Each structure stands twice: as structure tokens, then as C-alpha cells.
């Protein structure tokens, strides 16, 4: 029996990287999952893989976190398909876009800044707003936001990305505060350097001496934290940010 048997979850940004691995883990723990992403073929094929592997139900949904109507439709489609919602995992982010913002604050492009905030912060807020009545209707569920170590430390080259991730931690605390008495928990996860693509490994490896572990992060490390926070084992944990970074920020 999985730790999330009978639960219904949405994972945004589920077509690749951490979101894809997390969606598979949630399904392996018994959750029915809606996989949402801009990349529709990506989520469709992962949903098919999950349905084939474990027998748990999974669907793919095309959603653009920058578009409030699309975000609301994502929540509505999930509730229509599965009959409710227990877990919203706000994982999608404008990471590639943020990488193109490889400039100091003094040179930041306001339009790129706005777009980053719209996807990474406002998208999570609108999704939470749409999800809350459904979570409460099921007796309380949980929201898990993917922040970043960059949201805690500042970031040398991606100020918009770092600011959006810091604001997500604040949103996490507000949602936990406002919805706690309705039975809803809200927590954030702050991953450090997680190797989601082999081609990133060499670039990240130079940072290994700054870790307190002997290896860099894997998507599975983040997925394990999400499963824990979504499970009843974490029923007394809310408003927190769990840093999953191999000790990068601990010293």
C-alpha cells in the first residue's frame, strides 16, 4: 500500500526534469496524477507510461502557467477527471528563460523580469487560488511549491529567477497561514544543484567541493521530499521550506 493511496495530485512542469520524476514517484505511491505542462506531447507520453506501469490513473494536460485562464482550466480538468484534488505541486518554472537573463540587476530587462514573475510566482498563486476550494472540500489537502536555493541565497546571474523563488517562499507562508484552519498545509522545497540533464553535470561538478555530501543532487532527492511532505507523515508540518541541497547553503 502506497503512502498516497487514493490521493489526487496535480504536478505542474511534469514533462521533464524534477517534475517528471516526482509525478512518477507520486503515482508509484498510489496517487492519481494530472501532469500539466506547456509541452503537451511530453506529459501525454509520461501519463501513458504511468498508466501502463502501475495501473494508477494519470492524465496529461496542456497548461501555460503564464495564463490565468489556462491555469484555472488545468485545475477544473483535473477535478472533472478524478472527482477532486488533494495535492497541488507547483513545480513549473521559467528556468530556461531565467538562464537567458544572465545579467546583473542593473541591466535586467523589465519584460523578461515580468514574464519570469508571471510563470514562477503568479502561476503558482492562481493555481493555488483555483485549487483551494477543492482541497478544502476533500477535508484539507496540501500545496507544495518548488522554490530554489537561489531564493534563499540570492543569485549571481539570475536576479528575476531568484526573486521569484524568494517570493514563492513568502506565498507559501501566507497560504499556510490563511488556509491552515481549513485543513490545508502548504510547504516549499528549495532544491540546490540538481542534475536533470547529463550535459549539465560537468558545469555543476565544479560546485561539488562546496557541498557537504560526496555527490550532487538528483531529481529523485527532490521527489522523495515531495512525497514526504504530501504524506500523512508530514501532517504537522506546514509553512516550512525544506532545503534539498546536499548542504550547499549550510555553511
Active site residues: 161
| Chosen residue from 128, 148, 187, 238 binding ligand NAD by CB under 6 A | 148
C-alpha cell at 243: 532545503
Q: Pattern 150-179, binding to ligand NAD, x per CB under 6 A?
A: ------------------------------
User: At its nearest, how many Å lie between ligand NAD and the CB of residue 74?
Assistant: 9
Instruction: Please list the alpha-helical segments (H only) found in 55-207.
Output: 68-82, 95-100, 110-117, 123-137, 150-153, 159-179, 201-205
Q: Does 63 bind ligand NAD (CB under 6 A)?
A: yes
| Chosen residue from 122, 191, 223, 227 binding ligand NAD by CB under 6 A | 191
User: At its nearest, how many Å lie between ligand NAD and the CB of residue 154?
Assistant: 14
SS3 8: strand
Helix (H) or strand (E) holding 27: helix 17-28
Question: What is 179-205 written as a DSSP string?
Answer: HGGGT-EEEEEEE-SB--SGGGHHHHH
Q: Are 136 and 121 in contact (CB under 8 A)?
A: no
Q: Pattern 30-49, binding to ligand NAD, x per CB under 6 A?
A: -------xxx----------
User: At its nearest, how many Å lie between ligand NAD and the CB of residue 36?
Assistant: 7
d(CA 99, CA 119): 14
DSSP state of 75: H
d(CA 56, CA 103): 44
| Chosen residue from 4, 160, 166, 194 binding ligand NAD by CB under 6 A | 194
Q: Does 16 bind ligand NAD (CB under 6 A)?
A: yes
User: At its nearest, how many Å lie between ligand NAD and the CB of residue 221?
Assistant: 10
Between residues 96 and 106, which has the closer beta carbon with respect to ligand NAD? 96
Number of residues that bind ligand NAD (CB under 6 A): 26
Q: Does 26 bind ligand NAD (CB under 6 A)?
A: no
Between residues 13 and 60, which has the closer beta carbon with respect to ligand NAD? 13
| Chosen residue from 24, 29, 44, 64 binding ligand NAD by CB under 6 A | 64
- Which parts of this chain interact with ligand NAD (CB under 6 A)? 12-13, 15-19, 37-39, 63-66, 91-95, 119, 146, 148, 191, 193-194, 196
Amino acid at each position: 500500500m502506497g503512502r498516497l493511496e487514493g490521493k489526487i495530485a496535480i504536478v505542474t512542469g511534469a514533462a521533464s526534469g524534477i517534475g517528471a520524476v516526482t509525478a512518477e514517484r507520486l503515482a508509484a505511491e498510489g496517487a492519481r496524477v494530472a501532469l500539466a505542462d506547456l509541452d503537451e506531447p511530453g506529459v501525454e507520453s509520461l501519463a501513458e507510461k504511468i498508466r501502463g506501469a502501475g495501473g494508477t490513473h494519470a492524465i496529461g494536460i496542456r497548461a501555460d502557467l503564464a495564463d490565468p485562464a489556462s491555469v484555472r482550466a488545468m485545475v477544473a480538468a483535473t477535478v472533472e477527471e478524478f472527482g477532486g484534488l488533494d495535492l497541488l505541486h507547483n513545480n513549473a518554472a521559467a528556468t530556461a528563460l531565467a538562464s537567458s537573463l544572465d545579467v546583473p540587476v542593473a541591466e535586467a530587462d523589465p519584460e523578461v523580469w515580468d514574464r519570469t514573475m508571471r510563470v514562477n510566482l503568479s502561476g503558482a498563486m492562481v493555481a493555488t487560488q483555483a485549487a483551494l476550494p477543492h482541497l478544502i472540500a476533500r477535508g484539507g489537502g496540501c500545496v507544495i511549491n518548488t522554490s530554489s536555493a537561489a531564493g534563499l541565497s540570492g543569485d549571481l546571474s539570475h536576479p528575476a529567477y531568484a526573486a521569484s523563488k524568494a517570493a514563492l517562499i513568502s506565498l507559501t507562508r501566507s497560504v499556510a497561514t490563511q488556509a491552515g484552519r481549513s485543513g490545508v498545509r502548504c510547504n516549499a522545497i528549495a532544491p540546490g544543484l540538481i542534475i536533470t540533464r547529463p550535459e549539465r553535470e560537468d558545469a555543476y561538478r565544479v560546485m561539488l567541493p562546496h557541498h557537504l555530501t560526496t555527490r550532487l543532487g538528483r531529481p529523485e532527492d527532490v521527489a522523495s521530499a515531495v512525497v514526504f511532505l504530501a504524506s500523512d507523515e508530514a501532517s504537522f508540518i506546514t509553512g516550512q521550506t525544506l532545503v534539498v541541497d546536499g548542504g550547499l547553503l549550510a555553511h
